[in-house]
Amino acid sequence: MKSTNLYKKRLLLFSGKGGVGKTTVSSAFALSCARRGEKTLLIELNVHDKVSSMFGAGRVGTEITEVEDNLWAVNITPEAALEEYAVMMLKVRIVYKAVFENRIMKSFLRAIPGLNELVMLGKAYYHVVEKENGKHVWDKIVVDAPATGHGLFLLKIPMVITSILSSGHMFEEAERIIEVLRDPEITALNLVTLAEEMPVNETIMLHNQTRDELKIPMGAVIANGVYEPLFSESEHEILNAAAKHVKEPSVLAMIDAANFRVMRTRLQAGYLKEIDREIPLPRHTLPFVFTPRMDFQSLLTLAEKLESEIEGGQS
């Protein structure tokens, strides 16, 4: 198995099925980078901002905002990215306004296939290569990519554009993006999953499609929300034997709860095995966090755990 230390890359993408905790995992990873002293940019793509509440920061908008020491976040929307991109290309904002804020043009731009996705990726790309005094501005760019279906579509856009077109700015931009996306020295796409049937199936599919179609280098599978074993097998047996004789209802209910935990833990162990069997990538595991809401303290715990998993995986 090829081992990939995620900290050696600069562009880290996180995708996976909806509801598996992509945002939490991307945020935890970004936080771990920041704590290692790397200047990190965490990118959300056109979503209802979820990052800010975890960091206890103000709403993250389309302007890059500092949310922690060494850690900045931004929510890229197609509108803002297009404006930024066009202004950069046309040099003058007034020309942008004349061209792109024209009513007809606006409705046309909304409909142009692939343009939204391309400019969003283009902005992420721009930050990857952005330099100041000959040095990269960002040590790490972490992208909370959309869920499986949309994520694949988004990442496929530059490839589609280069196959339809043969010249023009969009074509050139797409070519530059592909080069970075496919560079194993720079990029790693990470697959976030839960140790459950549907997410694991979808992750296997995502892995195969990334390998065969996108050809974007992959980093690791991150199994999120995994229960830490609490009861040993023998303790579980003892509890079930005891359940036949215990009279106190609340203690019986505790044994039910223990059974539930054991069943779920076993189920997860089976799916972790399946991940290891089907996906030839290092697997990092994050524990289920028993907290009412993902707050900064819990996120920090996850960040530390993730770091030790990544570093530990190198031995």
Partner 1 sequence: MNAQSKLAELVASKRVVVCVGSGGVGKTTTSAVIALHAAMQGRRVLVLTIDPAKRLANSLGIDALSNDVTRIPIEKFRDIGLEPKGELWAMMLDMKESFDHVVRRYAPAKERKAILENRIYQYFSTSLAGTQEYAAAERLYELYEEGNFDLIVLDTPPTTHALDFLEAPKRLEDAVDNKALYWLFKPGMLAGRTGLGVFSTGTAYVFKTLSKFTGAELLEEFSTFLKNFAVLFEGLKERSRRVRKLLTGPESTFVVVTAPEASSLEEALYFHKKLGDEEVQVGGFVINRVRTAWVDAEDARMPAVSVVHHLAESGHAVDHLSPEDLRDLAGKLLKNAQESAVLAEVDNNSIEVLRRAISRNTPIQRVPFFSTDIHSLRGLNLVRTSLFAEHTRTP
Q: Compute the distance between CA of residue 129 and CA of residue 244 in angstroms, rounded to an integer.
A: 66
10 Å CB burial of residue 156 (0-12, 13-18, 19+) is middle
- Which of 259, 276, 287, 298 binds partner 1 (CB under 8 A)? It is 259
DSSP 8-state secondary structure symbol assigned to residue 6:
G
Residues within window 87-146 making contact with partner 1, judged by CB under 8 A: 89-90, 95, 98-99, 102, 104-105, 107-108, 110-115
**Taking the complex as a whole, how short is the minimal distance between the CB of residue 137 and partner 1, in angstroms?**
25
Please identify, using beta-carbon distances, which residue of 1 and 105 lies nearer to partner 1: 105
Residues within window 163-182 making contact with partner 1, judged by CB under 8 A: 163-171
**Taking the complex as a whole, how short is the minimal distance between the CB of residue 69 and partner 1, in angstroms?**
26
311 token code pair: 């570093």
Residues within window 28-47 making contact with partner 1, judged by CB under 8 A: 47
- Which of 64, 129, 137, 160 binds partner 1 (CB under 8 A)? It is 160
**Taking the complex as a whole, how short is the minimal distance between the CB of residue 241 and partner 1, in angstroms?**
4
254 near partner 1, rule: CB under 8 A:
yes
| Alpha-carbon 264 to chain mean position | 25
- Only one of the segments 25-33, 194-202, 273-281, 301-309 lies at the binding site for partner 1 (rule: CB under 8 A); that segment is 194-202
- Only one of the segments 64-72, 183-191, 261-269, 278-286 lies at the binding site for partner 1 (rule: CB under 8 A); that segment is 261-269
What kind and span of H or E run contains 12?
Answer: strand 11-15
Query: Is residue 248 a contact partner of residue 256, using CB atoms and an 8 Å limit?
Result: no
Q: Compute the distance between CA of residue 232 and CA of residue 157 in angstroms, rounded to an integer.
A: 49
198 near partner 1, rule: CB under 8 A:
yes
| β-strand pairing of 40-45 with 140-144 | parallel
**Residue indicated by tokens 């549907």:** 198
Nearest to 180 by CA among 224, 136, 150: 136
57 near partner 1, rule: CB under 8 A:
no
**Taking the complex as a whole, how short is the minimal distance between the CB of residue 249 and partner 1, in angstroms?**
9
Q: How many residues bind partner 1 (CB under 8 A)?
A: 75
3-state secondary structure of 149: helix
239 near partner 1, rule: CB under 8 A:
yes
- Which of 83, 202, 307, 309 binds partner 1 (CB under 8 A)? It is 202
147 near partner 1, rule: CB under 8 A:
yes
56 near partner 1, rule: CB under 8 A:
no
**CB neighbour burial string for 173-192, b if at least 16 within 10 angstroms, e if fewer:** bbeebbebbeeeebbbbbbb
- Only one of the segments 6-14, 277-285, 286-294, 300-308 lies at the binding site for partner 1 (rule: CB under 8 A); that segment is 286-294
**Taking the complex as a whole, how short is the minimal distance between the CB of residue 138 and partner 1, in angstroms?**
26
Query: Is residue 96 a contact partner of residue 107, using CB atoms and an 8 Å limit?
Result: no
- Residues 6+ positions from 184 with CB-CB distance below 8 Å: 217
- Only one of the segments 73-81, 83-91, 273-281, 299-307 lies at the binding site for partner 1 (rule: CB under 8 A); that segment is 83-91
- Only one of the segments 30-38, 60-68, 289-297, 304-312 lies at the binding site for partner 1 (rule: CB under 8 A); that segment is 289-297
Distances in whole angstroms, Cα of residue 258 to Cα of each of 249, 252, 253, 254, 276: 14, 10, 9, 6, 27
- Which of 94, 290, 297, 312 binds partner 1 (CB under 8 A)? It is 290
Nearest to 22 by CA among 248, 191, 245: 191
